[in-house]
């Protein structure tokens, strides 16, 4: 059976500066894949190509049995790619409820279900997004992605720069999503947290996938070499 997401030999560049030199990865239905690597190794660029925010120079991306080819990003989103981009971006002028409802599509996820996953959002339903704390805004952005009922949820550094207690809440939610069968592609620096959700890891180094394996196998010398931890 083919994977939900299959990326093969992806090459990408910013003008004359090449960022990806052949990245391959796959996410099986219901599985979570962690994409790791130190700063600037190509994680965000890989995600930008998958979500069609950036055109790849070469390579093949297939999602749910379809070649993403030259599909524009809004069409890729409609196929079921739900992106939580690096850095928080909720609609500032809208309330929590309006932010979530604006993203709603037919399917399993509703305003109420997102509020069950993130009770803080229920408490702040009528509050404008810009008045939320950083962690609450991040929950809102994840909630927005869920409201689109994504077949694949893509999280790019979803807990970066947040207070430990909020990070823990967000990781608990990610674990809950995984347990419910949500397919996930997650970029993060915390090997410890990733190990609690990811079935597999891919490590990028200078735009190449240099290591594939189970998170538990990425320890000691390997972790030091690839992640600097
Ligand atoms: P980080 O953890 O810092 O986000 P990353 O692994 O996501 O790192 P990318 O952001 O994909 O890495 O960057 C890969 C390479 O592409 C780096 O060398 C980076 O400097 C370069 N790069 C990224 N964005 C741009 C851009 N907009 N213009 C030019 N070069 C870029």
Q: What is the pLDDT of residues 137-179, one digit of tens each?
A: 999 999 999 999 999 999 999 998 899 999 999 999 999 999 9
45 lines ligand 1 (CB under 6 A): yes
| pLDDT value at residue 1 | 61
| pLDDT value at residue 91 | 85
Stretch 37-55: mean pLDDT? 94
Out of 19, 84, 161, 186, give the residue to mutate to test ligand 1, the one with the largest number of ligand atoms within 8 Å of its CB. Answer: 19
pLDDT digits (tens, 9 = 90+) for 94-129: 999 999 999 999 899 999 999 999 999 999 999 999
37 lines ligand 1 (CB under 6 A): yes
Residues 96 and 126 sit within 8 Å (Cβ to Cβ): yes
The CA–CA distances, whole Å, from 74 to 5, 95, 172 equal 17, 23, 29
Q: Structural domain boundaries of the chain?
A: 1-80+153-160+183-228, 81-150
Cα 212 versus chain centre, distance: 18
The ipTM assigned to this model is 0.93
**What's the helix, strand, coil split of the chain in %, to 5?**
35, 25, 35
Higher pLDDT, 105 or 220: 105
228 lines ligand 1 (CB under 6 A): no
Residue nearest to atom 30 of ligand 1 (CA): 14
Whole-model pTM: value is 0.94
Residue 137: name the closest of 108, 157, 158 by CA. Answer: 158
Closest atom of ligand 1 to CA, residue 207? 14
CATH architecture, range 1-80+153-160+183-228: 3-Layer(aba) Sandwich (3.40)
Residue nearest to atom 8 of ligand 1 (CA): 40
């Amino acid at each position: 059976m083919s994977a939900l997401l299959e990326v093969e030999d992806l090459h990408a560049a910013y003008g004359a500066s090449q960022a990806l030199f052949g990245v391959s990865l796959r996410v099986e239905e219901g599985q979570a894949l962690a994409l790791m690597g130190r700063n600037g190794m190509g994680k965000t660029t890989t995600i930008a190509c998958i979500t069609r925010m950036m055109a790849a120079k070469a390579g093949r991306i297939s999602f749910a049995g379809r070649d993403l080819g030259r599909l524009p990003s809004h069409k890729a989103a409609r196929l079921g790619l739900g992106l939580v981009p690096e850095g928080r971006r909720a609609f500032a002028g809208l309330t929590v409820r309006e932010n979530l409802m604006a993203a709603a599509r037919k399917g399993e996820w509703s305003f109420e279900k997102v509020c069950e996953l993130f009770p803080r959002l229920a408490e702040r339903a009528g509050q404008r997004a810009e008045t939320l704390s950083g962690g609450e805004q991040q929950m809102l952005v994840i909630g927005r992605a869920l409201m689109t009922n994504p077949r694949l949820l893509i999280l790019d550094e979803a807990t970066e720069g947040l207070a430990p207690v909020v990070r823990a809440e967000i990781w608990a939610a990610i674990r809950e999503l995984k347990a419910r069968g949500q397919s996930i592609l997650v970029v993060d620096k915390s090997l410890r947290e990733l190990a609690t959700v990811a079935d597999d890891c891919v490590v990028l180094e200078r735009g190449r996938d240099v290591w594939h394996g189970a998170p538990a196998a990425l320890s000691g010398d390997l972790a030091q070499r690839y992640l600097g931890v």
